[in-house]
Amino acid sequence: MSSTAFQALFGAAPQGTASAPGRVNLIGEFTDYNGGWVLPLALPFRCRVDWQRRDDGTVSVRSREYPESMDSFNSQDEYSPGEQGWANYVRAVVAALRESGRAPGGMNLLISSDVPQGRGLSSSAALEVALLGAFASAFNWPLDQAEIAALGQRAENQFIGCQCGIMDQLVSAAAQAGTALQIDCQSLATEDAAIPEGWAIVVLDSNHPRQLVDSEYNLRRQDCEAAANIMGLANLREATPEGVRAHQSALTRGQFSRALHVVEENHRVLASAQALRAGQLTELAALLAQGHQSLVELFEVTVPATDTLVAIAKNALGNRVAARQTGGGFGGAVVCICEQDDVELLLAAVQQHYHQQTGLEATSFVCTPGRGLECVIHE
Ligand code: ADP
Ligand code: MG
């Protein structure tokens, strides 16, 4: 389908296709940029980039999701934002490649993605990683998963202006089917934590309109970095809850509560990965409940819509469901883990109560963990 569309747009078949998934984070929120741990998994939704090299240095790009617009720029030019917000991700990836000492040439690119956008499921990282896979294939760069992730993060940090950590890009590049990935965001070491047989991952999109997400996200990060600095640490990875409390008087209220969230969240990630491996749903439910409460009280990034979804899930299934807001905050999605046999009950409860309590409609996805970046050459 996409190959035909590519042919119609660019007059020739694509030479290759790269695709990368969106992700949902089970737990470990706002820990990645503090050198901590996270536990995401790849969604079955993917961003696909069909590509063909061009010899004139021009990058010409279209997206199936933005059919009315296109962008075209010279691969050698300095980064500058264009007229299409979405295409700035492509400009940013090309700029990040160039700044890393590589010389990306011209390309025809067609993007098509079923990762929901702006819902905390990381459609941006899926796009960056798929684009990087396309350029790596087209120009024969042997980039490993960690390098791809770092380049995607750099594109987003330096050019898009979102100070995200490495989690989204790394899981999108490196995920394996059937398993969550425990990532040590300091060393970038990864360890599988398979989803037990019979368990379901349910993502409930609140459809709450998100605002100020990037600016608030960046402010939270500044609080964390200031707290580490005041505590005399390189980052909060080394901090303990006792250490944070001991410095309370030297920290602002925001710095104190953000830091406390991060250090306690790190413990919850490691405990959750263990609970997952051991198939202990009740333990996992308790850990995710604490994680959500910490997002409410300490990191202050939830909204009534996501709090309501978590409450509906808990009212329906009690400690048979692990549920919390996932992603960058201020709306987006709630992730739930329960027995497959309980999914129907969970979805019925959301159907019955969510609209009534919030005036919004939730969109739900039952997901099996997908694969990371895949690159195929057609010639
Ligand atoms: P999230 O990563 O949580 O989905 P972001 O705001 O970080 O939200 O990224 C969403 C943005 O990424 C979109 O507004 C758009 O600019 C870009 N994007 C994502 N998917 C596509 C796509 N298929 N085509 C073009 N741009 C896309
Ligand atoms: Mg994003």
User: Which protein residue's CA is at the shortest distance from atom 26 of ligand 1?
Assistant: 86
Domain residue spans of the chain = 2-194, 199-367
CB 283 within 8 Å of CB 275: yes
pLDDT of residue 119: 87
Question: Active site includes 214?
Answer: no
- State the closest ligand 1 atom to the C-alpha of 162, by its place in the atom list counted from 1: 7
Rounded Cα distance between 307 and 72, Å, is 42
Between CA 200 and CA 208, with CA 205 as vertex, the angle to 5 degrees is 160
pLDDT of residue 379: 72
Ligand 1 mean position to 86 CA, how many Å? Answer: 6
Which of the residues 32, 50, 71, 168 is marked catalytic? 168
Q: How many CA atoms lie within 13 A of 280 on its CB side?
A: 12
At 104, list the tokens: 């990306």
| Residue ranges around ligand 1 (CB below 6 Å) | 47, 63, 65-66, 85-86, 89, 111, 113, 117-124, 127
For residue 37, give the nearest of 272, 226, 255, 219 by alpha carbon.
272
For residue 23, give the nearest of 157, 130, 168 by alpha carbon.
168
pLDDT of residue 212: 67
Which ligand lies nearest the alpha carbon of 152? 2
Ligand 2 mean position to 168 CA, how many Å? Answer: 8
For a ligand 1 pocket test, name from 61, 110, 124, 153 the mutation site with the most ligand atoms within 8 angstroms of its C-beta.
124
User: Which protein residue's CA is at the shortest distance from atom 2 of ligand 1?
Assistant: 122
Rounded Cα distance between 109 and 375, Å, is 14
Ligand 1 mean position to 46 CA, how many Å? Answer: 12
CATH number of 199-367: 3.30.70.890
Kindly tell me the burial class for residue 58, based on how many C-beta atoms sit within 10 Å of its own C-beta (0-12, 13-18, 19 or more).
middle
CB 187 within 8 Å of CB 175: no
- State the closest ligand 1 atom to the C-alpha of 327, by its place in the atom list counted from 1: 3
pLDDT tens track, the chain, 379 positions: 578 999 999 999 999 999 999 999 999 999 999 999 999 999 999 999 999 999 999 999 999 999 999 999 999 999 999 999 999 999 999 999 999 999 999 999 999 999 999 888 999 999 999 999 999 999 999 999 999 999 999 999 999 998 899 999 999 999 999 999 999 999 999 999 999 999 999 999 999 987 767 789 999 999 999 999 999 999 999 999 999 999 999 999 999 999 999 999 999 999 999 999 999 999 999 999 999 999 999 999 999 999 999 999 999 999 999 999 999 899 999 999 999 999 999 999 999 999 999 999 999 999 999 999 999 999 7
Rounded Cα distance between 177 and 41, Å, is 9
Ligand 2 mean position to 135 CA, how many Å? Answer: 20
Q: How many CA atoms lie within 13 A of 39 on its CB side?
A: 26
User: Which protein residue's CA is at the shortest distance from atom 6 of ligand 1?
Assistant: 118
Q: Does 2-194 carry CATH code 3.30.230.10?
A: yes
pLDDT of residue 335: 98
- Give the end-to-end CA distance of the chain in Å, rounded to a whole number: 18
